[in-house]
Chains A and B, each alone.
Chain A
Amino acid sequence: MHIVRNMTISAFLLGLFSITGTGVVAFTFEKTKQKIAENERAAMVASLHQLITPKEHDNDLYADVIQVSNEKLLGTDEPVNVYRARMKDKPVAAILNSVAPDGYSGNIYLLVAIRFDGTLAGVRVVKHKETPGLGDGIEIERSNWILGFNSKSLTNPPTGKWRVKRDGGVFDQMTGATITPRAVVKAVKNTLNYYQANKDMLFKTPANKDIQ
């Protein structure tokens, strides 16, 4: 009898602590949910605005988004976000969240902003695992290398020159790191090709409401 009573009390206590613990987490989650969503949105809008300035568009960049997929050109079999910038309902630019799949240590996630006429407004690296001090020169915080893509397009430089210098192209490589810039150059070129082939679809598809 005594043992059963002890076990019941222990089980009851354990249950009580589980409920309290879960309650604390649920309460914090509810209290921070909105703030976290706002933060994520603000961070995304801030990085989009590095590429397309707020003056260049009048739509809600974050909300005017669709998902597309093309493993060959966008570097991933997952859906890729495409943010559209418009001014008075006229398309200004598309920002594609594409991936360079062949970095030195895995995927390099990019934001590639392409103006309506097919020239690059700019490229930024969102996430990568490249070697600190060597491959991380692709980050805007570490070097200006990534700015080398500004105003480039599929015809400038010509297709054959869309390579790092070591491979006979026009883009700089970095000291001690060739694989990383090579992967980024290739991914940007592929993204431009994808844009060229799907331009109309990218701007005409209605925004995905579910993403909100």
Chain B
Amino acid sequence: MSEYQKIIKDGMWVNNVAFVQLLGLCPLLAVTNTVVNAIGLGLATTLTLVATNIIVSMIRNVVRPEIRIPVFVLIIASVVTAIELAMNAWFHELYKILGIFIPLIVTNCSIIARAESFASRNSVGHSFVDGLFMGLGFTVVLILLGAMREGLGFGTLLSQAHLMFGETARGLTIVLFDDYKGFLLAILPPGAFIGLGLLIALKNIIDKRMAARRPTPVPITEVSESLA
């Protein structure tokens, strides 16, 4: 496996931000009541991760170790604020929904975790790929959870897609059940915890099956350490 393939696999599966590292749960649990919200927050987080990883990697030889954390915090805060303003300007409707969760990306520990454990020790190219796939791995979990909760809770998928993709996307909404009365638990916060729990359990089952098939399984820790 090439280095890049390893980074991709790490981000999407082996070291997935939401499934394995369990970071950034506050926005993850709060925003996933519909698929469109999940896509919006996922993309904003991915954009932030890519931008901060690239910047941190570029300055990794300039910044002294004793001031690296404040510098990372500064970079992340500036990038997120810029993204928030840009979203307010160009995706105003969606911004109104995701509003308070965009500033929360600053506090998403996965971003400073990637800056500290990966971007500050690797080349710009590697850091870019790491940011992109860590972000996409997070986005996929957001969308899965969003689909579960929206499907069960409202009986639709991709409702209000026009907020994200423009008026032409109104037709994207899929109605799963006609005249569905809704399942409140799925939309409320407990639904988020239960849903995430089920998804993590599913991932663990798949991991176990795959490990059982392989004669000499590679321990998860070795993969991430060899990269760092």
Q: Contact residues of A with B, CB < 8 Å?
A: 6, 9-10, 13-14, 17-18, 20-22, 24-25, 28-29, 32, 35-36, 39-40, 42-43, 131-134, 141
Contacts and interface: CB of A to CB of B under 8 A. Distances in A.
Nearest to A6: B64
Contacts of B153: 132-133
B187 A133 contact: yes
Interface in B174-223: 182, 184, 187-188
Contacts of A43: 92-93, 96
Given A32-B86, A39-B92, A133-B184, A21 B75 contact: yes
Interface residues of B, number: 30
B78 A22 contact: yes
A139 to B, nearest CB: 12
B77 interface: yes
A64 to B, nearest CB: 23
Of B75, B82, B86, most buried by chain A (CB within 10 Å of CB) is B82
A131 B184 contact: yes
A120 to B, nearest CB: 26
B86 A13 contact: no
A22 B82 CA distance: 10
A-B pairs with the 6 shortest C-beta distances? A21-B78, A39-B92, A32-B89, A35-B89, A28-B82, A133-B184
Contacts of A40: 92
A134 B70 CA distance: 45
25 contacts: A10-B67, A13-B63, A17-B74, A20-B78, A21-B74, A21-B75, A21-B78, A22-B78, A24-B78, A24-B79, A25-B82, A28-B81, A28-B85, A28-B86, A32-B89, A36-B89, A39-B89, A40-B92, A42-B92, A131-B188, A132-B184, A132-B188, A133-B184, A133-B187, A134-B184
Contacts of A9: 64
Contact of B182 (A14, A22, A32, A133): A133
Contacts of B182: 133
B55 to A, nearest CB: 10
Contacts of B85: 25, 28-29, 32, 36
Contacts of B187: 132-133
A138 B74 CA distance: 42
A132 B74 contact: no
Helix, strand, loop or mixed for chain B's interface? helix
A50 B3 CA distance: 56
Contacts of A13: 62-64, 67, 71
B88 A10 contact: no
B78 A25 contact: yes
Given A9-B64, A24-B82, A35-B89, 17 more contacts: A14-B67, A20-B78, A24-B78, A25-B85, A28-B85, A29-B85, A32-B85, A35-B90, A36-B92, A43-B93, A131-B188, A132-B33, A132-B184, A132-B187, A132-B188, A133-B182, A133-B184
Contacts of B81: 25, 28
B66 interface: yes
Nearest to A30: B85
A95 B90 CA distance: 28
Of B62, B78, B81, most buried by chain A (CB within 10 Å of CB) is B78
Given A10-B64, A13-B67, A32 B74 contact: no
A128 B81 CA distance: 26
B82 A17 contact: no
Contacts of B63: 13
A43 B88 CA distance: 12
B80 to A, nearest CB: 10
